[in-house]
Chains A and B, each alone.
Chain A
Amino acid sequence: MKRQQVYQQIAFVGLRLSTLVIISSLGFILWFLAKEGIFVLSWEFFTQAPTNGMTKGGIFPALVGTACLTMGAIVFALPLGVFAAIYLVEYARQGRLVRIVRVCINNLAGVPSVVFGLFGLAMFVEYLGFGPSILAGSLTLGILILPTIIRASEEALLSVPQTVREASLALGAGKWYTIYKAVLPPAIPGILTGSILGIGRAAGETAPIIFTAACFYTRGLPHSIFDQVMALPFHLYVLATEGTHFELTLPVQYGTALVLLGMVLGVNLIGVIIRIRLRRRMKW
């Protein structure tokens, strides 16, 4: 027994150390980027276009571009994902088709982002002839976040108790009317959480937009959905890997990294907080 306790002490020290290593390295990344980036941030950084060969000025066009791409992705993926989830939760009987749909959703979630980029290039840019544009990039990102939205919507619909449906059906309402009037309204906050997480994912992705939407520099803002745009993650990638001005653009890089990080983590944090609150309140 004594020996067992010694084992336990040693093992627990090991477990604590592992946790410490992981948490501190993740924490160090955040702290370092915050420390270096915070001094770059200013009103001008958010509201001006890059100047002097990207070494001065701000990231305004990239912010606008990322906002356009993300909104486009949500507009495309949200209805599709919610409708798919409604079928899977409310209508589907367990069977081969549903099994195949679920396997496909899981696999779609696992497709590498660069493959989505290739697909977007082949289908939207070349085959459908959109060219590199907000439209092509949004559709590519939309497909990428579709599984996230379907899963979150499924979870939201499942959290609505069966008694709500039974009560509505017992009053003589049809199946669709029940879903529309009784099941969807309480599920909406959960569905929104899913789309918020989707927004976070879409805003941070680089590989899918490099060949479908992003460009190195635009002076003005996009005029139509067929324009190419600058995007935050692509901006950071280009500046960090472009050999010639690496040192000179370093402050802009730190600033861009911090803004991107803050945006994605902020959006995710909102989603997580809403979800935790919902889970507490939704105990019916």
Chain B
Amino acid sequence: MFSRKTREICIEKLFLLFASTSIVILLLIAAFLFKEGLPIIEVVSPLRFLFGKSWYPTYEPPEFGILPLITGSLVVTLGAVLIAIPLGVATAIYLSEVAHPRVREVLKPAVELLAGVPSVVYGFFGLVIVAPWIQDLFELPTGLTALTASIMLGIMASPTVISISEDALSSVPLSYREASLALGTTRWHTAIRVTVPAALSGICTACILGMARAIEETMTVLMVAGGAAVIPRTFLQPVRPMTANIIAEMGEAVHGSDHYHALFAIGVVLFFVTLAINLVADFISHRFKETGSGTL
């Protein structure tokens, strides 16, 4: 029979093992992406892969340049951010500073609930409602454009922005607001000069995570972005973001072919882009923890 102390130490080590699985899983994901994605550099150089302007994986000879896909991702994300951040932050300020507590108690959980709507449902709605509407409005040959995708992604990302910003704003101590109001300022002046600056790190984190939500979204852009692998000049052209491209082509790529490896290499790019975004968000929320606690 072990002594009690030995047993306790064994149990602790066992739990440590379970806690470390998240590190192992993250490393495994990176390892498998590299294993399947890296062979593509035998066909194209990393620079030509990242900055090549044509993506014709099934031509003879094939072209593996993902710049059109990267710009596709950037364009729809930019559009989504332009919609989600101003509206989302404004809604958060309204909920935390202006709205009646009873209104907030209803709207805040409702918004958080809506953050859980599956992306394929947003995609479906975009397909049957927003796309025909865009097509009629701008008299386009197709309604499946970067703009359509941006609108859907903007609506999708806004609950994330609202929820995290509102948490940051309501964690600002009440005494800050009272001090400001006691000096005779209006509620708006207090909100914009005292509360928002005090919660700025949390609001920044919210915006970054909202952006991350848009850039990593797959099903919605696959269904409504149009799927043309060309560098877009306007918001009214069809685009093919990286995430959509992987799903759209993986079914036809032969296992172990150059095309297959190229799709995994896109996965590697996506993995590191989102890793970088998340590390930045993590850094901001820890660096300025005194005001932004409870944001992540």
B149 interface residue (CB < 8 Å to A): no
B279 touches A107 (CB 8 A): yes
B45 interface residue (CB < 8 Å to A): no
B134 interface residue (CB < 8 Å to A): no
B93 interface residue (CB < 8 Å to A): yes
Instruction: Among A92, A113, A119, A233, point to the contact of B29 (Cβ < 8 A).
Output: A119
B285 (CB) vs chain A CBs: closest residue? A106
A253 touches B124 (CB 8 A): yes
Min CB gap B119→A, angstroms: 7
Q: A8-B189, A240-B127 are in contact. Are A15 and B247 (CB under 8 A)?
A: no
Task: Name the A residues within 8 Å of B279 (CB-CB).
Answer: 103, 107
Q: A15-B98, A110-B216, A261-B121 are in contact. Are A8 and B28 (CB under 8 A)?
A: no
A174 interface residue (CB < 8 Å to B): yes
Min CB gap A199→B, angstroms: 11
B107 touches A264 (CB 8 A): no
A147 touches B4 (CB 8 A): no
B184 touches A240 (CB 8 A): no
Q: A91-B16, A174-B4, A237-B223 are in contact. Are A112 and B218 (CB under 8 A)?
A: yes
Size of A's binding interface in residues, CB under 8 A: 87
Stretch at the interface among B63-71, B84-92, B169-177: B84-92
B91 touches A119 (CB 8 A): no
A260 touches B8 (CB 8 A): no
A147 and B158 alpha carbons, distance in the complex (Å) = 21
B116 interface residue (CB < 8 Å to A): yes
Task: Name the A residues within 8 Å of B19 (CB-CB).
Answer: 83-84, 87-88, 92, 101
Task: Name the B residues within 8 Å of A25 (CB-CB).
Answer: 155
Q: A123-B32, A260-B120, A268-B113 are in contact. Are A101 and B23 (CB under 8 A)?
A: yes
Instruction: Among A4, A108, A253, point to the contact of B25 (Cβ < 8 A).
Output: A108
Q: A33-B125, A87-B15 are in contact. Are A146 and B32 (CB under 8 A)?
A: no
A104 interface residue (CB < 8 Å to B): yes
Size of B's binding interface in residues, CB under 8 A: 91
Task: Name the A residues within 8 Å of B180 (CB-CB).
Answer: none
A107 and B122 alpha carbons, distance in the complex (Å) = 25
B125 touches A29 (CB 8 A): yes
Min CB gap A192→B, angstroms: 17
Interface string of B103-117 (1 = CB under 8 A from A): 000010111111011
Task: Name the B residues within 8 Å of A257 (CB-CB).
Answer: 121, 124-125
Q: A115-B33, A260-B118 are in contact. Are A18 and B216 (CB under 8 A)?
A: no
B218 touches A207 (CB 8 A): yes
B124 touches A108 (CB 8 A): no
Q: A8-B188, A114-B246, A257-B124 are in contact. Are A272 and B278 (CB under 8 A)?
A: no
A16 touches B113 (CB 8 A): no
A137 interface residue (CB < 8 Å to B): no
B124 touches A240 (CB 8 A): yes
Task: Name the A residues within 8 Å of B21 (CB-CB).
Answer: 80, 84
A112 and B117 alpha carbons, distance in the complex (Å) = 16
Task: Name the A residues within 8 Å of B8 (CB-CB).
Answer: 174-176
A60 interface residue (CB < 8 Å to B): no
12 intermolecular pairs with C-beta atoms under 8 Å apart? A5-B186, A7-B189, A11-B192, A21-B87, A32-B125, A88-B19, A118-B246, A119-B32, A204-B118, A206-B219, A257-B125, A264-B118
Question: With contacts A16-B94, A80-B18 known, what are 10 further pairs, Cβ within 8 A?
Answer: A4-B186, A8-B186, A15-B91, A22-B162, A25-B155, A113-B218, A115-B270, A206-B119, A240-B123, A257-B125
